[in-house]
Structure formats: C-alpha cells, structure tokens
Amino acid sequence: MTPGRRRALGVAGVVLVGVAGTFAWLFQDMTLPQGERIEAIDGVVGVETSGSFAWIVPAGDGVVLVDAGADPDAEALLAELGRQGRDAGDVRAVLLTHAHGDHTGGLRQFPQAEIWIGADDVALLRKERTPIGWIPRMMAPLFDAPVPDNPLEEFADGDTHTVAGLTVKGTAVPGHTLGSMAWQVGDLLFTGDALVAARDGVTVLFAWIADAPERQVPSVRRLVGVEAAMMADGHFGLTPEPADAIDRFLAARQ
Ligand SMILES: [Zn+2]
C-alpha cells in the first residue's frame, strides 16, 4: 500500500469512527474505544488497528487472533507480537467475527494461519458478494486487500472445535453481517460487531451498517446465559459479566 493510500484509509477510518462515534454518543447508549492496547484476562491482549480491535489469544507455543484488524500492514499487531517475543509466524489461526474489511485487512500478514469463519460470511470474505449495509458497501473499495488464500475452515452454528489447541465454541449471531459469529474461548466471549460495549452494558450497532438489521436483536437472544466472565468486541473493548449485560439489554427492549 502506498503512503498516500494508507493515509486515505486512515483518514476515512478516523472520519467513519468519528461520525459513527458522535451518532453513537448522541443517539445510542454507546461508549468510546477503551484504548490502543487493552489487557483482558487469560493473557489476551486487544490491539487497536486503524479503527477496529484485533485480539491476540495465547495458544500453546503460539497465538490465535480474533480478527486481523483494518491495517493491511498489521503494524500494531506485529508490534504487540514483537513485544511478546513472537512474530507473524507464531499466528496459528485467525477466528474472524465477520468479513468486513476493517476486520480482515491484516490477514495478508499471516498467510500461514488457518482462517475460521462463519459459513455465511465466506462469500463476503472472497468478495463474491458486497456488504448490504450502505456504509460498509461504500467503504468496501477502500479495503482492497486481495482475497486471502490461507487455509479456510467454516464454522457452523453451535459447533465446538479445537483451534491451535484452544477449545472454541462458535455461535451464529447474524445481523451485522449474515455470517457474524461470536466466539467463546475460555472465559472470554468475542462478539466482533454483533454486540458491543455500551455506556451501561451492551448494545447492537446501527442498522445502516448491518446486512440484516432485523436479525441483530434476535441474535443477541442466542447469547442469553452465556458463561463468560468478559466480552471483547470489535470497536470498543471489554464488557464484564456479559450475561448480565445481555439480560439488561433485552429487558429494555421488551
Ligand atoms: Zn463490521
């Protein structure tokens, strides 16, 4: 990526996050991103990558990523891996919460990592379809990374798989994208953009960035009673006790 293009992407990202953040602050119960580097639990670290979070999860002698960030050079991710005494070759797998470009941009830096993805987002990742939400559709040309040719594994709703030695349960949470997944790894629930931290708990993102907005709240119902100590999302950060926060979110919508 040329410096000019990189700058354009950065500016677009900042504008998008700024506009969305302002709307969120005014009209929804949203919060602001919690920082550039977030330490969660169990050694998991969140890294802010040009507007979205990617999460580094220790996995045996390597790591698993939850999403790969917006930055095609994955600079912040590689810097954090370096801080941990690791490099790109230590990334065994990437669990994609969904296939929007601001979560898949860094994939090309980890060509050996197997990608795990919800079955209904494979076409989006392969650019065989465009996003339906008008903002992601408008932004899609900016995220012009080539389709990754990593080994690809589809994750079906409710399945549990061993990924690089980690036990991972995937729950389909369609709405933000058709194939959005929530990943549970140990005590952490990774929700991407399907459910995010709010000022007083959790909320869903705007209808106009969603593939199927009417499916967002029903998908949150699929996470009721989740046994996780912490939720980690794709743009804001951590939410403690997600099961309680989900109950409050749903109670307010009855
Ligand atoms: Zn998204």
Q: How far is the CA of 1 from the centre of ligand 1 (A)?
A: 22
Q: 30 - beta bridge partners?
A: 198
The one-digit pLDDT tens for each residue of the chain (254 residues) are 566 665 556 556 555 666 666 655 555 567 778 889 999 999 999 999 988 999 999 999 999 999 999 999 999 999 999 999 999 999 999 999 999 999 999 999 999 999 999 999 999 999 999 898 888 888 888 877 788 889 999 999 999 999 999 999 999 999 999 999 999 999 999 999 999 999 889 999 988 899 999 999 999 999 999 999 999 999 999 999 999 999 999 999 87
Q: How far is the CA of 85 from the centre of ligand 1 (A)?
A: 30
> What confidence score (pLDDT) does residue 195 get?
98
Neighbours of ion ligand 1 (CB under 5 A): 100, 193
Residue type at position 169: K
Q: How far is the CA of 199 from the centre of ligand 1 (A)?
A: 20
Domains and CATH numbers, the chain: 3-251 (3.60.15.10)
Alpha-carbon span 205 to 25, nearest angstrom: 12
Q: How far is CA 189 from CA 2, 58, 117, 168, 195, in A?
A: 36, 15, 15, 10, 10
Q: How far is the CA of 191 from the centre of ligand 1 (A)?
A: 11
Spatial neighbors of 127 by CB under 8 A, at least 6 apart, are: 147
